[in-house]
Amino acid sequence: MNKLIRIGTRKSKLALWQAEHIAELLEEGGLKTEIVKIETTGDKILDVSIAKIGSKGVFTEEIEEQLQNGTIDIAVHSAKDMQSELPEGFELIAFTERETPNDVIISHNKDLDLNNTAQPIKLGTSSNRRIATLKRYFPHVETAAVRGNLQRRIQKMEEGQCDALLLAYAGVHRMEYDNMIVDKLPLNVFTPAVGQGSVAVEVHKNLPEEKREIVRRLTNHKPTEHCLLAERSFLKTLQGGCSVPVFALADNDSENIHISGGIISLDGSEEIRIQKSAPLHEAEKAGRELALEILERGGDRILSEIKKELGKK
């Protein structure tokens, strides 16, 4: 077997950190690696929202093309960027150990306080989930649409487009901007996007089975995999794309999976949030049943209204 693993990734510093992390795991297992940088639609178009570009595959389509034609062997992504249903022939075979999943606020202003309603704050974010959550719990906060890699977003903040940025802790920490964190947001309010904090390894069915199993064995973190199987099952059942403000976070012990998830309207006026536990081997079933219960409790109506509203934008 050819022991060289060609790793496809986006070009941003954070994406390269993720690819290099997978490369380290593979090389520790005796494999040689090569990183192949690929520009995606989501990287090229930065002046409009993800919803306007089209939420399916904006950060993965070009990479998957190279997976399919064999230019690369595996692709490395932020797990939260992955569609709930992959194109035919593609599969996620591994998830790295999850980093702290919280959202955080970063700023040069250490006195910034989200709970101070008398303090005018403009937060930079392009996430509908985060914007809707702010509207519900912190309606005094103004938002500004800020996209691009982390370094570009910080530059926009420093140019005065916003006072602070609302981001995932994982990316901030991996890029070593911890000193800029002014608030780590509670998970019971800012429940993250599905997969937030983990790195996913994607392959195409054309990859030889032996190579696939070796990659999986060297890179997969089993407890995280259980969590993401539950979360992705939840997202798939809800049919929520990257632009729909749905959220889920799973945890597990040696015997059970525990998942909390929900949906919030774009204006923040309605939120449905449910928790569910199940035996560990029923992780995907737990995510699916959680989504069905949310839909039955009115989530189907909220979801329909969200998609209608996003279609107008």
Residues 67 and 159 in one domain: no
Q: Considering the entire predicted model, what is its pTM?
A: 0.91
Instruction: Say what the pLDDT of residue 313 is.
Output: 58
Residues 31 and 78 in one domain: yes
Residue 33 lies in a domain: yes
- Per residue in 171-202, pLDDT (tens digit) is 999 999 999 999 999 999 999 999 999 999 99
Query: What is the average pLDDT across 62-76?
Result: 94
Nearest CA-CA partner of 133 in 178, 186, 202? 186
Residues 212 and 280 in one domain: no
Residues 34 and 90 in one domain: yes
- Among residues 157, 184, 211, the one where a domain terminates is 184
φ/ψ of 166, rounded to 5, equals -105, 115
Residues 239 and 290 in one domain: yes
Q: What is d(CA 106, CA 157) in angstroms, rounded to the nearest whole number?
A: 10
Residue 191 lies in a domain: no
Tokens 């912190």 sit on residue:
138
Residue 192 lies in a domain: no
Residue 274 lies in a domain: yes
Residue 189 lies in a domain: no
Instruction: Say what the pLDDT of residue 110 is.
Output: 94
49-52: Cβ within 8 A, 24+ apart? 49/126, 49/145, 49/147, 49/243, 49/313, 50/126, 50/147, 50/242, 50/243, 51/128, 51/243, 51/310, 51/313, 52/313
Task: Choose, from 43, 73, 81, 163, the residue flagged as catalytic.
Answer: 81
Residues 166 and 124 in one domain: yes
Q: What is d(CA 80, CA 58) in angstroms, rounded to the nearest whole number?
A: 12
Q: Which domain holds residue 232?
A: 222-313
Percent of residues, the chain, with pLDDT higher than 70:
92
Residues 117 and 239 in one domain: no
User: What is the per-residue burial (b if ≥16 Cβ within 10 Å, else e) of 7-46?
Assistant: bbbbebebbbbbbeebbebbeeeebebebeebebebbeee
* Domain CATH for 274: 3.30.160.40
- Per residue in 10-55, pLDDT (tens digit) is 999 999 999 999 999 999 999 999 999 998 765 544 444 444 444 4
Residues 164 and 208 in one domain: no
Instruction: Say what the pLDDT of residue 59 is.
Output: 65
Domain count, the chain: 3
Residue 305 lies in a domain: yes
Query: What is the average pLDDT across 113-123?
Result: 94
Residues 130 and 266 in one domain: no
- Whole-number mean pLDDT of the chain? 92
Q: Is the pLDDT higher at 121 or at 310?
A: 121
Residues 216 and 230 in one domain: no
Residues 204 and 262 in one domain: no
Instruction: Say what the pLDDT of residue 312 is.
Output: 61
* Domain CATH for 135: 3.40.190.10
Query: What is the average pLDDT across 144-162?
Result: 94
Is 253 in the active site?
no
Residues 159 and 50 in one domain: no
Residue 53 lies in a domain: yes
φ/ψ of 105, rounded to 5, equals -110, 130
User: What is the per-residue burial (b if ≥16 Cβ within 10 Å, else e) of 80-93?
Assistant: bbbbbebeeebebb
Residue 88 lies in a domain: yes
- Per residue in 225-265, pLDDT (tens digit) is 999 999 999 999 998 677 899 999 999 998 999 999 999 99
